[in-house]
Structure 1
Amino acid sequence: MATTARPRRSALYMPGSNARALEKAKGLEADVLILDLEDAVAPDAKDLARDQVQAAVAAGGFGRREVLIRVNGLDTPWGHADLAAAARSGAHGVLIPKVESAEAVRQADRLLAAHGAAPGTPNGLPLWVMMETALGMLNAKEIASASPRLAGLVLGTSDLAKELHAHHTPLRLPVITALGLCLLAARAHGLAILDGVHLDLDDDAGLEASCRQGVELGFDGKTLIHPKQLAAANAAFAPDAASLDRARRIIAAHAEAMAQGKAVVLVDGRLVEALHVAEAHRLVALAASIGAAAISG
């Protein structure tokens, strides 16, 4: 199934308890802002964070940025109140942490509907889920198909590595199976999918390598923990000039071949079929969307 060409190159976590950070987010070059009520917020600041995030979203000013609210788990003292507030907040989506089953998705869907969020797509409130536990990975297929409200998966590789007793390595081989399971599930069901964070803020080369790996694996973008990481993710997950040039030539050559009654054509010595044309159109549409977003600010 095809996924949207909306740019999601960079998804920056912003602590909901930090009013200055929420205001600063309005000027950052992030495609997605994840206003966080969960891990980035201390227990005694949960209620304050919920109120501040709700007020910030209602006030607007985030421009073209896609705004998601990450709530606390429904098994915590704050989860239900978070979800009720998010349902009527006006955010572009709600992100549920540590999802391990299809029923957890359906429960969140029912609660959002009960608190006034329109169901399903395209006009309803989208639901996103964090994939960050071993059980969640094993149930990725069922989770990805659990609800028409579901819009995307977000990898929580730090929590996953902790649960697996795995190491954070440059090639991320300890979690590569989990990444693959989530990618398969997301693409099979037409969902967006965002890669996990890179924790070392002083490791620019490592961040760039992790972004390149995410692109190669097929992720739409990367979650980030600091604004200084935005440029690397935005550059890596945007089609480069050479890729765009080739994509446009593939589209033109294929159209000409079809006009002559041919199903295939050679571009730069390589066979081009319909599947390559579809990917070329996706890249061109993504680049156009990124350009439009840059203009709108």
Structure 2
Amino acid sequence: MLTPRRVSQVLMAAVVLLAGLLGAVAPGQAAEPAADPCYVWLEVSPGVFEYVNICPDPDEEGGGEDDGSGGNGPRCDLTEEPYDEFCLGTKACRADIPSTLPEDKWPPEETRPSPDHIFTFVQCRVPGQEELYERWRWIEPYEGALPGLGWQALGRLETPAFTMTFEPSGMTYVGADTRYLLDGLGDGEIIGSVAGPLQATGELSHVEIDPGDGSETIDCDPDLRTRACEHVYLEMSHEQTSEDIDGQPGFPAQARLVYDVTFTMGGVEVSLPGVPDTLESPWNGTVVPVGEIQALVRTR
């Protein structure tokens, strides 16, 4: 017969076993770091979740993100590739820049040390240790990373969705001046969201128009809302496969916007070698039916 004390011991063992089984089912969710403010629960790759430590190591405090630009020079050895990009304290590091993790997967904004910081994967060589320091974390991009961030900033520029029309509307004619107009260009300036410390701005330079009849592309004034760009078609479009909404065959004319791009950091313009300084919108267009005016010749 089991004594009351023995029954209590059996019940306690059962509770411990059950807790162990539950922990085996979801070890990550039972992990102690969940209550630590230095750890956040993130999806670091599709379907893969981790507790990520976002707090710096002790040796990084007080200038731990020194990239060698300060008066005292770097605190780490940046002579061994690929760990030659920047220092975290005494660790020599490299990072994925731009970050491979989409921004909507980054830790909460209140954990971000500053607007210039990005959240990315970092690998470092630690003095006196063979094992690498590898961690997802906030870093402030070092100077040499700016071109990489420049591509990211460039990708955040969005060109407007515009429409293209022509005059005379409905149909133009062989030998006549056909005028193209665009609507929906805004004020000609586009501004992207920041990528780390960088921001890209585009200023509309000109409009390229392909008349669709095999002739060369035309460079036109950027303000096609009020000033038209003209072309003369030299043949009819009756054999074209493209059709307008009324079923009339026409030439597939199209246009795209070309912007001059500048990059700024803290409001100051910077040069980024290797990063394009122009941006082209996708092509958008309209079908232009071209007919022929028949002349009636009378003899006296």
User: Which TM-score applies when normalising by structure 1?
Assistant: 0.21
- As a proportion of its length, which structure holds more strand? 2
Higher relative CO (Cα under 8 Å, sequence separation at least 6) belongs to: 1
